[in-house]
Amino acid sequence: MTTSPRVAELVARYAQAIQARGCAVTTVRSKLICLHKFERFLASREVGELVKVTPALLEDFRMEVMHTPTQKGLPPRAVTVNNALEAVRGLYRVLLELDLVPVDPARKLHLLKEPEQLPPPVLKSDEMAKLLDSIDPSTPDGGRDRALYELLYSTGARAGETVAMEVDDVDIDERMVRIRCGKGGRQRVVPFGEVAATYLDNYLRWCRPGLCRQQGRPVRALWLTARGQPIGYYTVRMRLRQYKEALGIEKRLTPHGLRHACATHLLERRAELRHIQELLGHASVATTQIYTHVSIGHLKETLARCHPRERGNLKIEDKDDGAIRGTYRPNPGRGPDGTET
């Protein structure tokens, strides 16, 4: 079955509308992939108009997505199913706003409950320092990489936000950077640290001019490849992996992992959650709160160090009769005056 021209036309109109509202190109692309599945589903049911779609038909689509295995033959995750359903709900919501459909049959399309997802383990602060210090800033590529990863770690910016930066977005003197391509079209201005400023200044003064000459004309993009072209996400990810593997670091690490590391290390050093929220550009503090779970290891260390039942000496004795008896002798603490308590 071929896709109806009318359905394809409305999907294209939807993509144009959300991109005009500030939706990132990568987000638009992922939604279109999901909607192409929806188009093929409608074609298989010989439905050529979006207005002919019913809630019952959408439930059939949900069941099909839920029971279609991945390329590896595994059941799809809840987030994968929800991405497809969210794309369809967003399609009808926007088309209804544009008066291109009379009703929204997806209004009551329910999503699956997703298990709580924690960020993957992040590098410790000393591991991060070792990784960044391993990048030689004396070469054009190395100087760019050192400045880019230092900025990612310092600001907690998303990789897509960072590669989209232009030269005019950076103020070295004030140590501020404007993020124009934030999630949901939101812009923000965030500070970066002195170390990041040092390597960014080195890149702008000595590395980038040489890369820019490869193009033969002025380039507005901040980060350039060896050929003078704007750098892409996959290059940033690939080179980070190369630096990680050269050090023998086994933890999984992506550019987004530098964002997680920034938030986690700030939280470990008692930064306020609302400040981390503003730095990361989260619309809701609930999104930022996930990093409180990431720092649970430090909470365990605090418990072992500070709780009286942990600080004490609990001797376990296994008697001949099989009974286990314990004797608890608490270690003395210290009061405000320095005396033992």
* Catalytic residue set: 158, 183, 256, 259, 282, 291
The tokens for 186 are 């939101």
Between CA 34 and CA 86 the distance in angstroms is 9
Between CA 235 and CA 173 the distance in angstroms is 29
CA-to-CA separations, 241 to 122, 250, 252, in angstroms, rounded: 14, 10, 9
Between CA 340 and CA 337 the distance in angstroms is 9
Q: Answer whether 200's CB lies under 8 Å from 182's CB.
A: no
Q: Nearest-CA neighbor of 185 among 283, 284, 86?
A: 283
Q: Nearest-CA neighbor of 142 among 243, 231, 228?
A: 243
**Dihedral angle sign, alpha carbons of residues 256, 20, 58, 50:** negative
Helix ranges (H only) for 118-188 are 125-133, 140-155, 159-163
The tokens for 103 are 């009703």
Q: Answer whether 154's CB lies under 8 Å from 265's CB.
A: no
User: What DSSP state is assigned to residue 150?
Assistant: H
Between CA 341 and CA 333 the distance in angstroms is 5
For residue 166, the cross-strand partners are 221
